[in-house]
Amino acid sequence: MVSVIVPVYRSEETLERCVKSLTMQSYRELEILLVVDGPPDKSGELAERLAWEDERIRVIHQKNQGVSAARNKGLKEAKGEYIRFLDSDDYVEKDSIQVMVEAMEKDDTDFVVAGFHHLYFGRSIEKLPEKEGTFPVQESRDYILKLYEKGFFNMPWNKLFKRQKVQSRFPEDLNLGEDLLFNLSYLKECNRFSTVRKPVCEFIQDDRGTTLSTKKREDKLEIALLLYERTGQAMKEIFGDGQTGDVLENKLIVEFLDDLEQLAFADSMKRKEKIRMIGNYRAALVKLKRENPGLKVRLKLADYKIIYFFLNIGCKHITYLLIVLRGLVVRLLKRR
């Protein structure tokens, strides 16, 4: 049996679609755990109605504690041999669970990582692992680092886990990056993992959260640095050393640039605040390069390269203008 854990919070508009995509799965041996995390709307009532319609659905109520606490509660209550996670605003392909269970059992692997569709501003972008097959963890450093670099460890919902191998829980002291740390912690317990070049989930992302407050922006930088440190420690525990070929540092720089580009949409922030934030990222970049002499920065996208160049030489105002111009182009494209 597969236990599917779905945190429920402010999900009135999307929960039914999410749950129906699970109840219509070709793989029938499921328990669907809807963990209602004290929502301010009627999501909990909707969850109860859906459970009345399908006996495989179980509703668990808790006070609002956040998505990590909800997932941890689901892990505590799960009875299935395998664990799958899903967010209440996403949905899955009809054969999604079947594909992942078959991959798990075909080679008796410990961990399955699959592809997904990223629905971003109305566009569907298919994201697939580079290879398909089963690989020994200890002999697959380069491939694991590539998966990390491409963001395949950043989320839990395109993966299948063995419940008995889940030794850690989602960190509840973070509101960003907790999924990455959970996945890396689980990977430490695995002998072999498998990747599947097939999308198993529709991940929906819109512009919610792009107008973050200044405090959240500062927290995001702090969290990015904390995740970089903890990821480095996790890689050291998995492979016995800290050799990652600058992959972690380059991923961090890309996160810096992503955060800076999002400043263009932070309409609640004043120009001075944004320039100050650019200065904070510039200081973090200088510190990172000082601590990693010989770091080779590898950027593929043209906008990253241009913004990085001016950020690196300390031109905060030009960096700000470039971010604003890019934001204008994105807004125009969204209107089409």
* Upper half-sphere CA count for residue 317 (Cβ side, 13 Å): 0
Beta-strand pair 82-85/159-162? antiparallel
Amino acid at the residue 224: A
Residues of the chain with pLDDT under 70: 120-122, 205-218, 336
SS3 content of the chain, % helix, strand, coil (to 5): 50, 20, 30
Dihedral (CA of 90, 108, 180, 174) sign = positive
Structure tokens at 139: 């002999």
Percent of the chain with pLDDT over 90: 82
Helices H, strands E: what count in the chain?
11, 10
Q: pLDDT tens-digit profile of 284-310?
A: 999 999 999 999 999 999 999 999 999
Model-level pTM? Answer: 0.89
| DSSP state for residue 269 in the 8-state scheme | S
| DSSP state for residue 214 in the 8-state scheme | H
Provide CB contacts within 8 A for 234, sequence distance 6+.
Answer: 181, 184, 185, 187, 188
How many Å apart are CA 132 and CA 114, to the nearest integer?
9
Amino acid at the residue 274: K
Q: Identify the pLDDT of residue 243.
A: 85
How many Å apart are CA 336 and CA 334, to the nearest integer?
5
2-205: CATH class: alpha beta
Q: Identify the pLDDT of residue 122.
A: 64
Q: Identify the pLDDT of residue 117.
A: 87
| DSSP state for residue 263 in the 8-state scheme | G
How many Å apart are CA 201 and CA 92, to the nearest integer?
4
Dihedral (CA of 132, 136, 142, 144) sign = positive
Q: pLDDT tens-digit profile of 32-86?
A: 999 999 999 999 999 999 999 999 999 999 999 999 999 999 999 999 999 999 9
Amino acid at the residue 95: D
As a dihedral over the C-alpha atoms of residue 140, residue 107, residue 97, residue 190, rounded to 10 degrees, the angle is -40
How many Å apart are CA 328 and CA 178, to the nearest integer?
32
Q: Identify the pLDDT of residue 215.
A: 44
Q: Identify the pLDDT of residue 208.
A: 40
Domain ranges of the chain: 2-205, 214-335
Structural contact between residues 90 and 134, judged by C-beta atoms closer than 8 angstroms: no
Structural contact between residues 32 and 57, judged by C-beta atoms closer than 8 angstroms: yes
